[in-house]
Amino acid sequence: MSGDSTLTDVTVNGNTTSGTGVDVNANLTNQGSTTVNGNATGTGSGVDLVGNVAGGTVNGNATDGTGVNVSGNSTLTDVTVNGNTTSGTGVDISGNLTNKDNTTITGNSGSGAGVGLNGTVTGGSLAGNSVSGPGLHVTGNSTLNGVDVTASSQSGPGTQMDGMLSVSGGTTLNGEEQKDSAELRRQVYERQQQLSRSDTVRDAYRTSGYRVEEKPVSVEICTDGECRALETGYADAPKAR
């Protein structure tokens, strides 16, 4: 589908072995009960999605390839996307994807990743499921903004991180809201500055000859009939004897 198209109550089927079952690289509007099905029986992808889609259902199925491949800058509005594969990636997102209204994306795989992520997703629902692979595999630096994410695997990791993942906008993972990455980085930076200032002040005290008043306390610890004394309250460090 290379030009802007509108489908009303239509079922589209595309089949391939090593290519692409259905290629959407323009604006597609689906009305009524329109369903787009792409199938790849070899190493190809069921559906390649580069354009914008509104409405309907998009199903991509593959054997060794990717069920649904999302690349470029795409917007999905009220669309249901399902990607299934035996050994590949159910849904692979490598571009900037914006989901609006009730858009849901589900990726399922047998031995591969349910969902592969190397891009940015804003809004919507994203679910990755696998039998023995990761439910969600972050393969490169990625961002999730206001996305409800579920990731599960029967015998593999729920999530696998091979890239940096930034989250914001109330993104949830398996029902738990994730802290804003920018806020976490700010808190870490402030804490590092506090520790740096503390080290500077302590070094200045030592250089000037100032010493904290010592208030030693001796604590005796006994185990199996053997006792040791721990003396604390010294300026430098606790002393054991």
- As separate numbers, helices (DSSP H) first and strands (DSSP E) second, the chain gives 1, 27
Counting as low any pLDDT under 50, the low residues of the chain are 238-239
What does pTM read for this prediction?
Answer: 0.77
What's the pLDDT at 180? Answer: 84
Give Cβ neighbours of residue 224 (< 8 Å, ≥ 6 apart): none
What's the pLDDT at 109? Answer: 98
Q: Where are the domains of the chain?
A: 5-178, 179-207, 211-241
Whether 86 and 109 have beta carbons less than 8 Å apart is answered as yes
What's the pLDDT at 106? Answer: 98
The H or E element that residue 75 is part of is strand 73-77
What single string gives the DSSP state of each residue in 108-124? EESSS-SEEE-SEEESS
Measured between alpha carbons, how far is 127 from 55 in angstroms, rounded to an integer?
19
Structure tokens that stand for 200 in this block: 């500077």
